[in-house]
Chain A
């Protein structure tokens, strides 16, 4: 990280009380087009609301927001973007959901990769897992996955049980997170992603709440670009249910 960016993070007026995060933890999200900058800005402010709403209410946490800057920003304050992405658009930063610990990554690969796959290709990759506890387990999936990828590796409830993860506890925390999103953040939670990552050197693992097998893991909620505020009145419930069902 450049000294200029460090200064920007420290001087940000959006979150004056946000503690600094370590540089290795940062994710930077940059809008592709000027037209979509308002969407990125809205997502960032949803992130702030959701981050605070989830604290102390669920083992699922939203990444720590760090800064937002509009397209008009002085880009000398930002880290260098690759040459194919220098269009001036909005940018925000947040803490990173860290990759799963190596042991669990290898367990996932060794359990779910087809026998024909070159596992060495995947063993070196860092990745997180997407929790899809509501997805029906396809009986055909007992066969090896034909197209294997570790990108946001999807874990159904059955997959979690295979990996000896505490599915019921994770589901309970997911429910608490939804309640916090709906009733405290006041958003419909449309298209948010529940993910499982690693703790890294952070001290806020979820093992103390969900058992020792979760000691090195972190539960997170990401992707807020489609969330909408809702009224918290009866007339808004249909929209919330629709968002929950993904319709």
Chain B
């Protein structure tokens, strides 16, 4: 699924992988706070 939440954080440079579907990987730039 094209997820927008923050889950597994297995890369900690500029992009964090937050989800993976069948054909794509989704990253986010982790700057969000409450």
Contact = CB atoms under 8 A, between A and B. Distances in A.
Given A24-B32, A26-B29, A36-B24, A82 B4 contact: no
A126 B32 contact: yes
B24 A152 contact: no
Interface in B1-34: 1-7, 10-11, 13-15, 17-18, 20-21, 23-29, 31-32, 34
A126 B1 CA distance: 16
Contact of A31 (B5, B18, B23, B32): B23
Nearest to A223: B2
Interface of B is mostly: loop
Contacts of B32: 24-25, 96, 98-99, 126, 200
B25 A24 contact: no
B17 to A, nearest CB: 7
Contact of B10 (A23, A32, A82, A225): A82
Interface bin, chain A: 35 or more
A216 to B, nearest CB: 9
Nearest to A151: B7
Given A23-B29, A27-B27, A32-B23, A125 B6 contact: yes
A43 B21 CA distance: 13
A128 interface: yes
A77 B29 CA distance: 15
A39 B5 contact: no
Given A101-B34, A193-B1, A28 B7 contact: no
A222 B23 contact: no
A31 B29 contact: no
Nearest to A195: B4
Interface in A170-229: 193, 195, 197-198, 200, 220, 222-225
Contact of A27 (B7, B14, B28): B28
A82 B17 contact: yes
B24 A40 contact: yes
B4, B18, B32 pick with most chain A CB within 10 angstroms: B4
A23 B10 CA distance: 20
26 contacts: A23-B29, A23-B31, A24-B31, A26-B28, A27-B4, A27-B26, A28-B27, A28-B28, A31-B23, A31-B24, A32-B25, A36-B23, A39-B23, A79-B15, A81-B15, A99-B5, A99-B6, A195-B4, A197-B4, A198-B34, A200-B32, A222-B2, A223-B1, A223-B2, A224-B2, A225-B21
Interface of B: 1-7, 10-11, 13-15, 17-18, 20-21, 23-29, 31-32, 34
